[in-house]
Structure 1
Amino acid sequence: MEQAALAWPPAGALALAVAVALAWDARFGEPPARLHPVVAMGWVLAALGRGVAPLAAAAARPERSFATGALAWTLGAAGVAALAWAVQALLSGLPWWAQGLALGVLLKPLLAWRMLRDEVAAVEAALKQGLEAGRAQVARLVSRDVQALDEAGVRQAALSTLAENLNDSVVAPLFWFALAGLPGAALYRWANTADAMWGYRGVRGGRDWTWAGRWAARADDALSWLPARLSALLLLAASGRGVAWRALRAQARRTPSPNGGWPMGALALRLGVRLVKPGVYALHEDGRLPQPADTARALAWCGRAVVGWGALLVAGMAALEVVGRPS
């Protein structure tokens, strides 16, 4: 029990870590790939995936593929969480402020607002050079085929990615960090990365992920459920005006994901635009086509949402630190 208590940082250290991580992200952006833990997770998942998903031409039993995928995901998740816990425990003997600084540096690679912002802004800049440049730039953000997209389609893809990844890359990692420290944030990033690489219905990369990636997809759904709804609320607050919850819920139900439609629907409704992924979803169909000014507004609102979320977490954990101190 004493060792477990030592491994848990004080609330003041967690508050400082959030502030440091966001400040570091704003100033420096992403670390080099060779030092990036999420990149390392991707390498591990790619290696595991070759043994998890059967080749498309092979006959495989669904229950076997599902069990193999679930086991591989669970072992990887346990390893990631255990490593993060061990690192956090090693810091437990330091003063609270030193723990906060160190945890903030370690937390930073598990969130990515500056990169997301810059990549979406780059899509708009590329569209000014021409449609082909815009398609090439948005292809860095999405897995869909971009060759058939017109200018509005490129912008819709970029805005949808911005809204969805506001949750995946910022709100959710910080949410789980606040609840479960560095292991919580690391576990979430493992789940989200696994979903991005394994959570497909059908064939990808010559392998059938229909059953092999189902556990990864459901785990990410579960861990993102509450943060996605918080992301929608943060977006609405940052935009300065709300929308009817019933209308937002109706839009959110239009996406296959139980979570992605919440921040995307909030952005579509507030901008007054429609966000469409052909054959998959159409949000706010009565809206107009997005224009360059909509990208600028969306980026500004998301930036405010990030700052607001960080401020809420810092203030909340700082208050817990004050309340928890012996009088």
Structure 2
Amino acid sequence: MNTAELLMLALLLDALLGEPDWLWSRLPHPAVLMGKCVSWLETRLNTGSARRVKGVVTAACLVAIGLTLGGLLSLFGQLVEVIIAAILLAQRSLVDHLRAVALGLSQSLVQGRDAVAMIVSRDTDRMTGPQVTRSAIESGAENMSDGVIAPAFWFLVAGLPGLLAYKMINTGDSMIGYRNARYAQFGWATARLDDLVNLIPARLTGLMMAIVGGCLRDWRGIIRDARKHRSPNAGWPEAAMARALGLSLAGPRSYDGKMRDFPWVNETGAKGITGPAILRCCEILWKTWALALALTVAIALIF
């Protein structure tokens, strides 16, 4: 089978099984192992002087580990490649997490806050219902790119080594890619590398969402709002999702007890949104997944 055919099977397997509790309650998840690898490097290298240089070394190590491990695992055959790719895709688990937030909000605001705290890093203890809803939808849009489309893209480009290298970089960015006193220098290289490897997938995700969401005619507005985002990539799927649902995303939010005044995405959209909007977001995510699957099938047939 070619790489596209393997990806097709992995997409389907992930959608069917997601993250089975019976398995990951007994074995460490690959994402946990990747996190431990990043933590090991950070503990030993993020000290003393020349932290930016050490950060470059760390980023190179993450890529090398991903490529090497992916190459070794590929030697075990295509079935292993499909299973590992399915594990590292996150469509089913992403939607399950979002639905948990919607269910929590339907029961109480406190339960909605508790559920969204599992998937976002911002302060959640004083969130209103609309803030909980926006946070979940923003996380869903961004993670559709980081957790599904980007891994699939790099699997198509470079097989399992490409996928594992991407996941190592993305995991590294989520742990050390912050602009604070501890990581501003050391995490710079990993953060910039993550921006680079997500450059095409994020825009592709936004385009696909705009197509399935029926808002491709607003593409110029999506571009305009995407450029307002503090991330060079996350704004694309968020802006597309906001227009697909007809609501506003982003805006002011609190981190570590401090309010930060971020610009609105699709500022004229609805702001008083509630839990059902999360379920509509899930529909867009599944339609985007279906389009990705269809494109993968087309590539498999062509090549």
Provide the TM-score with structure 1 as the length reference.
Answer: 0.84
Matched with 1:286 is: 268
2: CA distance, partners of 1:300 / 1:262: 18
Structure 1: segments with no counterpart, 5+ residues? 1-11, 55-59, 92-98, 321-327
- Residues 6-48 of structure 1, C-alpha deviation per residue, up to 9 Å, x if partnerless? xxxxxx3323311221222122212516342222101111222
Matched with 1:43 is: 36
User: Amino acid of the residue matched to residue 301 of structure 1?
Assistant: I
- Residues 113-160 of structure 1, C-alpha deviation per residue, up to 9 Å, x if partnerless? 111100011101101121111111101001111123111001000000
Question: Structure 2 vs 1, CA of residues 283 and 201 (structure 1 numbering), >3 Å: closer, same or farther?
Answer: same
RMSD between aligned residues? 1.6
2: CA distance, partners of 1:105 / 1:276: 35
- Residues 186-213 of structure 1, C-alpha deviation per residue, up to 9 Å, x if partnerless? 111111111111110115xxxx111111
Dislocated runs of 4+, deviation >6 Å: none
Identity of aligned residues (%): 33
How far the C-alpha of 1:102 sits from its partner, in A, is: 3.1
1: CA distance, partners of 2:244 / 2:13: 30
| Aligned length in residues | 290
Alignment of 1:254-293 (within 5 A): 254-278=228-252, 279=260, 280-289=262-271, 290-293=273-276
How far the C-alpha of 1:66 sits from its partner, in A, is: 1.0
How far the C-alpha of 1:220 sits from its partner, in A, is: 0.5
1: CA distance, partners of 2:29 / 2:5: 21
Asked if residue 233 in structure 1 is aligned to residue 215 in structure 2, the reply is: no
Asked if residue 197 in structure 1 is aligned to residue 175 in structure 2, the reply is: yes
- Residues 279-307 of structure 1, C-alpha deviation per residue, up to 9 Å, x if partnerless? 23421122112233322221111101112
How far the C-alpha of 1:232 sits from its partner, in A, is: 0.5
Question: Structure 2 vs 1, CA of residues 157 and 76 (structure 1 numbering), >3 Å: closer, same or farther?
Answer: same
| More displaced 10-residue stretch of structure 1: 217-226 or 283-292 | 283-292
Q: Does structure 2 conserve the Cα–Cα contact (< 8 Å) formed by 1:22 and 1:108?
A: yes
Structure possessing the higher radius of gyration over alpha carbons = 1
- 2:15 pairs with 26, 33, 41, which one? 26
1: CA distance, partners of 2:46 / 2:269: 40
1: CA distance, partners of 2:189 / 2:287: 34
How far the C-alpha of 1:249 sits from its partner, in A, is: 1.0
- 2:149 pairs with 163, 167, 171, which one? 171
Matched with 1:145 is: 123
Provide the TM-score with structure 2 as the length reference.
Answer: 0.91
Q: Does structure 2 conserve the Cα–Cα contact (< 8 Å) formed by 1:256 and 1:281?
A: no
Q: Does structure 2 conserve the Cα–Cα contact (< 8 Å) formed by 1:14 and 1:103?
A: no
